[in-house]
Amino acid sequence: MNGLQLRTDITMKGLDALVMAAGPKANRAIARGVNRAGQPTANTGKRNIREVLGLRKHPYAKGTAVQAVKRYTSIRKATAATLTFSMAGFGRGLPAIWYQPKETPAGATINWLGARKLIGRSFYLSGRFPRRKRSSISHAVWERTGKGRWALSRPRGPGVPEAMQSRPFGSAWERDASARLPHHMKEALLAALRGY
């Protein structure tokens, strides 16, 4: 199993005194601060995944590219016991309809991480060339797998785990988390000292 771990270490700059003053409430306050910093960072990460994969809205697709990325990511929030916020990507590649498909007589081409890639014997429109039009099965790109009319499969493009292992995603995650975490930690610890 391929895994990617990004750690964000922050310089305390006075937070250690707040942790000592918070006493037994410190773990809950730290978890709250980590979650408040982690959620916007995760949203930015999902946006970055869409940019890395080149996902675009398609008028025939069911749903949106945002929903497609959300379906293949999971977020685990920090608790007082773990103090770790994590975002994981899983699953196969996303359906090819999200990768800007274009039809040619040889098959549909999709944007595969910045370059056009031909999927042989594939289509998403119906009719004869050059007057192809939308049909009831145009919500996906289909690839012929045999001789029958319905011998079809749905080809997939690159997946969320591949995008999460790219350098732009890692550097953006690190930059956002480092910028947000100290402020949210300080606010959560001050709130714990006030009795929240």
Binning pLDDT at 50, 70 and 90, where does residue 1 land? very low
153, two tokens: 């499969």
- 80 is in which domain, residue-wise? 15-56+69-92+159-193
Q: In terms of domains, do 182 and 88 share one?
A: yes
Rounded to whole angstroms, the Cα distance separating 77 from 184 reads 15
Binning pLDDT at 50, 70 and 90, where does residue 8 land? low
pLDDT at 58: 93
Q: In terms of domains, do 81 and 168 share one?
A: yes
Given a cut of 80, whether residue 10 has pLDDT beyond it is no
Judge whether 170 lies within some domain.
Answer: yes
Judge whether 31 lies within some domain.
Answer: yes
Q: In terms of domains, do 77 and 142 share one?
A: no
- The candidate with the shortest Cα–Cα distance to 42, out of 2, 9, 77, is 77
Q: What is the pLDDT of residues 43-64, one digit of tens each?
A: 999 999 999 999 999 999 999 9
Q: In terms of domains, do 80 and 125 share one?
A: no
Judge whether 28 lies within some domain.
Answer: yes
Rounded to whole angstroms, the Cα distance separating 154 from 135 reads 16
Judge whether 7 lies within some domain.
Answer: no
| Number of domains making up the chain | 2
Judge whether 10 lies within some domain.
Answer: no
Q: In terms of domains, do 81 and 118 share one?
A: no
Q: What is the pLDDT of residues 18-38, one digit of tens each?
A: 777 878 888 999 999 999 999
CB 71 within 8 A of CB 181: no
pLDDT at 130: 84
Q: What is the pLDDT of residues 119-155, one digit of tens each?
A: 999 999 998 888 899 999 899 999 999 999 899 999 9
CB 83 within 8 A of CB 95: no
168's enclosing H/E stretch is: helix 167-193
| Cβ contacts of 124 within 8 Å, gap of 6 or more | 60, 97, 101, 103, 108, 137, 138, 140, 141, 142
Residue 91: φ, ψ to 5°: 90, 175
112's enclosing H/E stretch is: strand 107-112
Rounded to whole angstroms, the Cα distance separating 91 from 69 reads 11
Q: What is the pLDDT of residues 56-92, one digit of tens each?
A: 999 999 999 999 999 999 999 999 999 899 999 999 8
Q: In terms of domains, do 82 and 165 share one?
A: yes
